[in-house]
Chains A and B, each alone.
Chain A
Amino acid sequence: ETGVTQSPTHLIKTRGQQVTLRCSSQSGHNTVSWYQQALGQGPQFIFQYYREEENGRGNFPPRFSGLQFPNYSSELNVNALELDDSALYLCASSPGLAGGVADTQYFGPGTRLTVL
């Protein structure tokens, strides 16, 4: 158990709708990262938040947005859903150490999103 939880477990939406996925990080972890994993592929980095500010973004359009809250929770919002957005969405929390020290990311179980 990593102490990272995600909700909901599964979700079905239709094209054009908006969705919000939630993540609760490990206590004390001030960094959260979000990944998208399409079927049969490795996870792809969406973005990272550090102390409530975006700290890097992968190759995803602006309709993917996020929020991080002081209570170690965070959200991934996706607007104007497309069929290709169907995937497993993973969040990962990490301590966010600075100064050249390894910062291990611990993953939650994921949310399976299906877009019809």
Chain B
Amino acid sequence: DAKTTQPPSMDCAEGRAANLPCNHSTISGNEYVYWYRQIHSQGPQYIIHGLKNNETNEMASLIITEDRKSSTLILPHATLRDTAVYYCIAHKAAGNKLTFGGGTRVLVKP
């Protein structure tokens, strides 16, 4: 899986949008961009994934640049319960392992 780079931490105000960047400049054509989050001491929670097009679900939106070298996860209205470590992962289609990096520790403040 391609290496991904994320800022180690960021703060966000409750009710505001949180924009989480991820760099994956060496991503290959068959690698999806996956986002997971992990709330303290729980199992990682799947958020969203995409290949080329922007994606949206009930939790978040994923914006992937046209050259696929970077992406942004958007939490539209952050709540205190969104405080977690967010992981961006480049994952081969039908691949086995997920390679977790350091992630971004997001703190949502009142």
Query: B-contacting residues of A (Cβ < 8 Å)?
Result: 2, 4, 33, 35, 42-45, 48, 55-56, 58, 88, 90, 92, 97-110, 112
**Inter-subunit contact A102/B44 (CB<8 Å):** no
Give B20 Cβ to nearest chain A Cβ, in Å.
Answer: 15
Contacts beyond the supplied A33-B97, A42-B101, A112-B41: 10 A-B pairs with Cβ under 8 Å? A2-B46, A4-B43, A56-B96, A92-B98, A102-B51, A102-B93, A102-B94, A103-B93, A105-B98, A110-B42
Q: What A residues does B34 contact at CB under 8 A? A: 102, 104
Q: Which secondary structure dominates chain B's binding surface? A: loop
**Inter-subunit contact B94/A98 (CB<8 Å):** yes
Q: Of residues B36, B87, B102, which shows the largest number of chain A Cβ atoms within 10 Å of its Cβ?
A: B36
Cα(A104)–Cα(B43), bound, Å: 14
Contact of A88 among B41, B95, B100 (CB under 8 A): B41
State which size class the interface on B falls in.
20 to 34
Contact of B98 among A4, A45, A112 (CB under 8 A): A45
Report how many A-B pairs have Cβ atoms within 8 Å: 69
Cα(A103)–Cα(B34), bound, Å: 10
**Inter-subunit contact B43/A42 (CB<8 Å):** no
Q: What B residues does A99 contact at CB under 8 A? A: 94
Cα(A35)–Cα(B101), bound, Å: 13
Near A by CB (< 8 A), chain B positions 30-63 give 30, 32, 34, 36, 41-46, 49, 51
Cα(A88)–Cα(B30), bound, Å: 30
Contact of B97 among A56, A101, A109, A110 (CB under 8 A): A56
Q: What B residues does A2 contact at CB under 8 A? A: 43, 45-46
Instruction: Report the nearest B residue to A50, measured CB to CB.
Output: B96
A58-B100 contact given A100-B30, A109-B42, CB 8 Å threshold: no
Cα(A42)–Cα(B84), bound, Å: 13
**Inter-subunit contact A42/B87 (CB<8 Å):** yes
A101-B93 contact given A42-B87, A42-B102, CB 8 Å threshold: yes
Q: Say yes or no: is B26 at the interface (Cβ < 8 Å to chain A).
A: no
Give A84 Cβ to nearest chain B Cβ, in Å.
Answer: 18
